[in-house]
Structure 1
Amino acid sequence: MLSHLRQLLKPAVLSIILLVGAAAAGAHEMTMADLTMREVAPKEFVWAWGIPGKNTPVSQDLTPAWPEGCVGDANTVRCGERGLAGSLSVNGIGKNYSAVILRITWQGEQRSTFTLTQNQSSVRLFGSARDDRDAWQVAQTYAVLGIEHILSGIDHLLFVLSLLFLVGFRRQLLATITLFTVAHSLTLAASALGALTLRSPPVEAVIALSIVLVCAEALNQKDTLTRRWPGIVAFVFGLIHGLGFAGALKDIGLPEQHANMALLTFNLGVEAGQLLVIGLAWLVLLATRRFAWTASARRAILYGIGSVSVFWTFSRIAVIAG
């Protein structure tokens, strides 16, 4: 009897530990660093590191390599006749930071924004706001950023997993996930293009609350409206999650050229990451459905997700109140 009880409790305890550990690591999302540069005199720049939306210092893992003809010290870069032209790269991307957002303000207040990743850790500059990247290069960069965002956005992933527990791998799942996708695509596009603006703290609080509510419905055995029409819930909360995605995209910035391509491929990257998680969940189900403890593990995981999300909800409301 005791050994059977241990077998039931083992997956439950493990699941809760994993969820709490994930929460401790942070609700979301990929860690980016800002490299800001401002031209204060012809071919002379001041530069600094930062983290979007935070006042924490950047670790020493990232080191810029200035274009040929440019010499930099702790906070200035002076360039020769060509100006800030040539290849600018950042070493160390991929260790503690998944991306570096290079923001340059030229004399005349023209601005350039470039996104550097581990696979594309350099950008070619031309001494002005000119952006020579083609649409394919922008598409590759922003698709990867979209995948990284959803895979490191624990709260978004937990919402998707909660929907899976609510609906199960039935035909209805396709419609539910499709409606969630359509909803967050609408608000992501509207916010990224400036048509819709909301403060981040309320959005983050509602995202956490959405996970709590879906977990509660997944644990409820009654035939509720949510169980009958999960697509409606997925669509309504998908609108809010889209605003969360838009917050990340705002931190990254859209290139002036190929902005629509960047927006589209970022969204496609989010969807690819989401489908990857659903596929992995299906494989886990296939591998474990013959075991007797799966029902207990399901309840434990839902209670774990719900508990973490309640904590997020109250902590994010406290931020709003403060």
Structure 2
Amino acid sequence: MRRARAFLAALALGLLAATAGQAHEVRPAYLEIHQDAPERFVVTWKQPIMGDVAIRLEPRLSNDWLNRPPAEDFISPAYRIRTWRIAKANPQALAGQTLRVDGLERTITDVLVSVRLVDGRAFDTILKADAPTVRLSLARRAGLAVAAYFRLGVEHILTGVDHLMFVLGLLLLVGIGWRLVKAITAFTVAHSLTLAASAVGLARVPSAVVEALVALSIVFVASELMNARRGQGGITARWPWLIAFAFGLLHGFAFAGALAEVGLPRDAVPAALFLFNVGVEAGQLLFVAGAILTILALRPLRLRLSVRLDRLGQALAPYAIGSFAAFWFIERAAAAFA
């Protein structure tokens, strides 16, 4: 168990060092093409911003629709939103066209793409840094691109350092066993509930407030790690499932906000959130399984750490997790009040 905790402590430090400061600055951009009449289209581009800072991204269509100035261009608290209104367009003007987002290859941002035509045909996909171009295929009827939203959920959790830090903090506290299973299950049930509540509009919490509270939850887990190291078992050590459930509710609102703020098609939001939630859970289990399998693989090698190094790793991990989480909390709280 000592070696397992030492490994998890090292994993925490490595994960933080490799991705320090990123947290969830991987919010997706969103491009929607909606045909609201036989010869009329509306193109909406939503790009995440932080204050006055925005990554330089430019959507391009091979039919030159987006080369003209937008009809609307404004800044919301979290996004820059541009709208093009295309009148007297050929109803087949989109079929086979190429969509590209210039600058995407230099980012870690994804772009959700949604196309809806009046005859029921639709197209959904995700553009990524290594694949910033797509050919619009409009053969299928309206519905969700299951793989697209599932994949986004997986990637959202695996690139969400703050959420992974919370899960890793639970691992450090309870170790490998049934207590971990109960804690992860409680976390899953909780964030699924708030995702569902958000999907049907029963609950709404400002995203900036949620992100600040998520960071605060990690600070709490870090403080519990320090108490456990001193031999003072806190509430998380005694009832990890209870804390996992309570903070899982917050994390669920954060997961929902990652899609809800983007502005998914109205008829697709509940199903998209469900698929996204399944992807989040798959990514979370992949992360936990990866950590556990690595520990089990190291055991036959009889990897030996000195007592001093073991203690150093266990001491540094809660300080590192708590420091980064405190920074995120201050940054996000300032943004919420702003």
The 3-state SS of whatever aligns with 1:86 is coil
What is residue 101 of structure 1 aligned with on the other side?
112
Tell me: CA distance 1:52–1:122, structure 2 relative to 1, closer, same or farther (3 Å). Answer: farther
What is residue 320 of structure 1 aligned with on the other side?
336
Can you list the C-alpha shifts for 1:171-216, whole angstroms capped at 9, x where unaligned?
2100000000000000011112211111112211111110011111
C-alpha distance in 1, partners of 2:36/2:271? 32
Tell me: CA distance 1:182–1:218, structure 2 relative to 1, closer, same or farther (3 Å). Answer: same
C-alpha distance in 2, partners of 1:284/1:296? 20
What is residue 196 of structure 1 aligned with on the other side?
203
- Name which of 249, 254, 275 aligns with 1:244: 254
Tell me: CA distance 1:208–1:60, structure 2 relative to 1, closer, same or farther (3 Å). Answer: closer
C-alpha distance in 2, partners of 1:267/1:100? 18
1:114-133 correspondence to structure 2 within 5 Å: 114-118=124-128, 121-125=134-138, 132-133=141-142
C-alpha distance in 1, partners of 2:226/2:286? 25
Q: Which ranges of structure 2 fall in alignment gaps of 5 or more residues?
A: 1-7, 70-83
C-alpha distance in 2, partners of 1:61/1:71? 13
Tell me: CA distance 1:123–1:192, structure 2 relative to 1, closer, same or farther (3 Å). Answer: farther
The 3-state SS of whatever aligns with 1:35 is strand
C-alpha distance in 1, partners of 2:171/2:333? 27
C-alpha distance in 2, partners of 1:274/1:18? 15
Tell me: CA distance 1:306–1:125, structure 2 relative to 1, closer, same or farther (3 Å). Answer: same
Q: Which ranges of structure 1 fall in alignment gaps of 5 or more residues?
A: 1-10
What is residue 232 of structure 1 aligned with on the other side?
242
Can you list the C-alpha shifts for 1:87-146, whole angstroms capped at 9, x where unaligned?
454335665254323467999xxxx894433479444459xxxx72445xx211110010
What is residue 277 of structure 1 aligned with on the other side?
287
Tell me: CA distance 1:147–1:252, structure 2 relative to 1, closer, same or farther (3 Å). Answer: farther
C-alpha distance in 2, partners of 1:89/1:248? 26
Deviates more, 1:96-105 or 1:34-43: 34-43
The 3-state SS of whatever aligns with 1:34 is strand
- Asked if the contact 2:116/2:142 (under 8 Å) is kept, the reply is no
- Name which of 47, 56, 59 aligns with 2:56: 59
Letter in 1 for 2:147: Q
C-alpha distance in 2, partners of 1:217/1:65? 55
Deviates more, 1:182-191 or 1:292-301: 292-301
What is residue 74 of structure 2 aligned with on the other side?
none
Deviates more, 1:146-155 or 1:291-300: 291-300
Does structure 1 residue 304 correspond to structure 2 residue 313? no
C-alpha distance in 2, partners of 1:262/1:47? 20
- Name which of 179, 188, 208 aligns with 2:215: 208
1:173-192 correspondence to structure 2 within 5 Å: 173-192=180-199
C-alpha distance in 2, partners of 1:161/1:12? 9
C-alpha distance in 1, partners of 2:272/2:12? 37
Deviates more, 1:237-246 or 1:276-285: 276-285
Does structure 1 residue 264 correspond to structure 2 residue 256? no
Can you list the C-alpha shifts for 1:18-77, whole angstroms capped at 9, x where unaligned?
6255232x21143422335577997465756441465655535754334xxx75524366
How big is the alpha-carbon RMSD for the aligned residues of Structure 1 and Structure 2? 3.7
C-alpha distance in 2, partners of 1:165/1:16? 12
What is residue 73 of structure 1 aligned with on the other side?
67
Q: Percent identity?
A: 37
Deviates more, 1:187-196 or 1:52-61: 52-61
Tell me: CA distance 1:57–1:78, structure 2 relative to 1, closer, same or farther (3 Å). Answer: farther
C-alpha distance in 1, partners of 2:205/2:115? 26
C-alpha distance in 2, partners of 1:72/1:223? 59
- Asked if the contact 1:61/1:95 (under 8 Å) is kept, the reply is no
- Asked if the contact 2:94/2:136 (under 8 Å) is kept, the reply is no
The 3-state SS of whatever aligns with 2:316 is helix
1:284-299 correspondence to structure 2 within 5 Å: 284-286=294-296, 287=298, 290-292=304-306, 293-299=309-315
Does structure 1 residue 170 correspond to structure 2 residue 177? yes
What is residue 29 of structure 2 aligned with on the other side?
33
